[in-house]
Structure 1
Amino acid sequence: MNQTKIFAHRGFSSNYPENTMVAFQAAEQSQADGIEFDVQLSLDDVPVVIHDATLDRTTNGTGFVQSYPVHKIKKLDAGSWFHEKFEGESVPTLEEVLVWAKGNQLILNIELKGQLSDRDKAITVIYPMIKEHDLEDRVILSSFDHTVVAQCEQFAPMLETAVIVLSALYQPESYLRTVQTLGYHFYYPTLLDKEVESLIKKGIRLRPYTVNDEKQIKRFIELGCDGIITDDPQKAVALRNQL
């Protein structure tokens, strides 16, 4: 059985401002196997790393991310909201993350966000960047928008993909086949142990999120999930090592 991989959710987001380079660097130092982070397009179609559709929660800016060109987004403070010691942390571009990732072995789980109008544009902008940095074998593209996942499969079938769900899918194996993906990222309370075990036997790559409780971390490692997505990779790595 393959060892369960630990993915740092938006980086080491329990201790650092989410989706910033300092959070990603801390995740690497925690010996996580990968990082999960969110990407959407700026006004000038540059992929930037930020979760919300708006700037308000995690920066000192206001308004929609897609209302601003990248040079204005880069000037914002994306660290002070978490703690004053992180003042000056900026919103990374995807390019910055990919360049940094060339120096390590982390798996990059890129969650695609943005407006529905960007569906056709997102993969055509993002894939060439992944290819340019020769990171195709270290990227997972995931989304709550399963149409986007299907488009990724059609446009770049060499990349691994995954659907993200908040509630359990009905007949998930059949549904995933229609999307042409094996990746199933689910909210951790929504599947029973027997359902997890059955799907793993069928080759589905299960990665529950956001698993922060020690008991639940152990549960999914012992069940043999492909990975878990957690805010505290240091804790998860330590528990995996104990097991």
Structure 2
Amino acid sequence: MPPPAPWPYPFWIAHRGAGKLAPENTLAAFRAGQARGYRMAECDVTLSADEQPFLLHDATLDRTTDGHGLAAGQSWATLAALDAGAWHGPRFRGERLPTLASLAEHARHSGLLLNLELKPGPGQAARTGAVVARVAAGLWAGLTPPLLSSFETASLAAARDAVEALPRALLLEHLATGWREAACGLGCIAIVVHHGALDADAIRQAHEAGLRVLSYTVNGAAEARRLRAAGIDGLITDAIDRFAPDTLG
């Protein structure tokens, strides 16, 4: 059995910064999550047309900004002017899309730990992994590094090849045949799996392979207790207003 990799991350992780309490993937969201006592947040990182890493979940801008169309096709100068908060409520009007650099500055001053999900635009899987890894390695120098995760194996492979020392996690909706080999082949230290696909046996198999196990997106107390009893290493949640970070241990 391989020894587990060092694991500096807390059990509870705020989804997209603050769950549903603030506009996702904005600095306002990270502040809201930390105000609830969360020491770690999950967020989504993609690239502009001129390869500026910034935070956005969707491939398109329409749902969470006043912009339109494919984000990967627009320059950072255009993206930086968008309102990324008004959709959530008037008090967040004027909130901007954060760059990875602005998030790193916030983390450096506040102590926030991060799980950065690589969200490449169309045809940009490898490029996104490589650019985000290189930029993150510089920005988080001297700090606890962010955990890079993705459903895109090409993004994780490129991140590994660019900066092998950064920790990585394979995102999985289901535990299909070969999941352990895939994660270990990418040099991952963890898998991040939809909660419905996990049980004690799957978690045990991951641990035996030297992998930590996180689960998304766990918003019910009964499911959180089930997974904790099964040996899970961490939970990603929207329910930051219902789970205190010390809930269930």
TM-score, normalised via structure 1 length: 0.90
Partner Cα distance (1:158, 1:136) in 2? 13
Partner Cα distance (2:143, 2:214) in 1? 19
TM-score, normalised via structure 2 length: 0.88
Please, which moves more after superposition, 152-161 or 220-229? 220-229
Contact 1:5 1:33 in 2 (8 A): no
Question: Using a 3 Å threshold, how does the CA distance of structure 1 residues 16 and 139 change in structure 2: closer, same or farther?
Answer: same
Contact 2:9 2:40 in 1 (8 A): no
Deviations 1:33-80 (A, max 9, x none): 311111111111111100000000001111111122112112111111
- Say which structure is richer in helix: 1
Question: Using a 3 Å threshold, how does the CA distance of structure 1 residues 162 and 154 change in structure 2: closer, same or farther?
Answer: same
Give how far 1:147 is off. Answer: 1.8
Question: Using a 3 Å threshold, how does the CA distance of structure 1 residues 105 and 225 change in structure 2: closer, same or farther?
Answer: farther
Within the candidate set 175, 178, 183, 1:176 is matched to 183
**Matched letter for residue 179 of structure 2:** P
% identical equivalent positions: 29
Give how far 1:135 is off. Answer: 5.5
> What corresponds to 1:73 in structure 2?
79
Does residue 233 of the first structure (1) align with residue 240 of the second (2)? yes
> What corresponds to 2:210 in structure 1?
203
Runs of 5+ consecutive residues of structure 2 not aligned to the other structure:
1-6
**Matched letter for residue 10 of structure 1:** R
> What corresponds to 2:97 in structure 1?
91
Runs of 5+ consecutive residues of structure 1 not aligned to the other structure:
none
> What corresponds to 1:145 in structure 2?
152
Question: Using a 3 Å threshold, how does the CA distance of structure 1 residues 2 and 219 change in structure 2: closer, same or farther?
Answer: farther
Contact 2:108 2:143 in 1 (8 A): no
- Tell me the C-alpha RMSD between the 2 structures: 2.2
Question: Using a 3 Å threshold, how does the CA distance of structure 1 residues 127 and 198 change in structure 2: closer, same or farther?
Answer: closer
Give how far 1:22 is off. Answer: 0.5
Size of the aligned set, in residue pairs, is 242
Partner Cα distance (1:148, 1:236) in 2? 32
